[in-house]
Structure 1
């Protein structure tokens, strides 16, 4: 079962606390996603056919329109995750250049002490279930930290290869050759 425990909407995205105990089939959204572990056993997500861990130390970043799925651990226990849905306009308005405006640099995010602090702040707003004027700032800073990290990790990849990995539409991939 997938159950939303709490949802909070902001000006450029939303945050949701989920309780999950089953797989979610492969799908895609127009929003970018960040998925953070909060409790339960470790899980994983498959993004564009590659599997990535979701744990205390690792999160996943899913760019807009990237196919992805959620796989719980085989033990059948409940997983608690914080999922941030980032509107596409955020990427365009906050990118340093056109190459960064398409989403995240890589799907894997390290949960650094700074990222962990922002996750905690967002989670507390969601658990309080009260409107907060700080939500947009917390969502922005959490997203910015993760976007910056994923693009620093992607710098070792050639730009063309990054772009080819980002686009699932054969027409776009072909035009990049």
Structure 2
């Protein structure tokens, strides 16, 4: 079973050092998501519908809201992965245009050959998280250097707008915006696609196509992202029992919540909470 060795969180988002031998379901994040191998077997992720390798020489790069999954081959040994879930607003500190990391097209390709500097910074961050879990300032400084190196290597960052005003995005269909707002309000009561389609006044098939073209992910994946991010927030920041958190999020049984969390994060909510506390 996969293990979380260290998890750090802050204004930057989350950084997790994961010892993986457990596949993850198709999911997404509202973050700029970078995956770097630290040690162990080479492995792979599915981004959209294609498989991309994660090796000593190559990273996996996932745009905000881009569907992806982890596919572990049972015959292979475990892989130690440095997983970065970076808030676009934090990257905006370095360059205004980097807030675009929260949407499509930030990384042109889901994989790329890492530079010696990226490899060195990733190893330094992983080592420091293990040996000095309470050195949060040092971790964030290394993470800053690492993300700058990643973005400068793998994105057309010089062409991003220098002004926030120039970052206007399409607003999408008003019926989908209405359903998305309802999803955000009522994430504890996930409806069927039929229920959401009815709210939008569309057929199931039309609703599904319009939702994915407007938002970038299918409606079920979108709802799972909302529930997972809320789950992470509650697990990290609330002293409530996991049973209470499970109930607040609308799960019928705590075991269902644990399975949902593990399928998305690789580890149980209890382990996620306990390992995160090591850095506090």
Give the Cα–Cα distance (whole angstroms) in 2 for the partners of residues 50 and 93 of structure 1.
32
Shift of 1:76: 3.9
Count of residues in Structure 1 that have an aligned counterpart in Structure 2: 161
Say whether residues 1:107 and 2:110 are aligned partners: yes
Residue of structure 2 equivalent to 1:170: 213
Q: Is the 8 A contact 1:107 1:150 kept in 2?
A: no
For 2:149, the equivalent position in structure 1 comes to 145
For residues 2 and 21 of structure 1, what CA distance do their matches in structure 2 show?
5
Greater relative CO (CA pairs within 8 A, separation 6+): 1
1:20 matched to 2:63 = no
Task: Give the aligned CA root-mean-square deviation in angstroms.
Answer: 2.6
Partner of 1:67: 67
SS at match of 2:35: strand
Change (3 A) 1:79 1:99: closer
Cα distance change on mapping 1:74 and 1:152 into 2, 3 Å: farther
Deviates more, 1:101-110 or 1:17-26: 101-110
**C-alpha distance in structure 1 between counterparts of 2:116 and 2:40, whole Å:** 20
Q: Per-residue CA shift, 1:50-97, capped at 9, x if unaligned? A: 211000100111111111111123414211111111012134444464
Preserved contact between residue 33 and residue 63 of structure 2 (Cα < 8 Å) = yes
**CA distance in 2: counterparts of 1:37 and 1:108, whole angstroms:** 12
TM-score normalized with structure 1 length: 0.78
Which has the larger strand fraction?
1
Per-residue CA shift, 1:83-115, capped at 9, x if unaligned? 111012134444464895534332213221100
Task: Report the TM-score, using the length of structure 2 for normalisation.
Answer: 0.52
Mapped to 2, the partners of 1:128 and 1:32 lie a distance apart of 26
Gapped runs of 5+ residues in structure 1?
A: 156-167
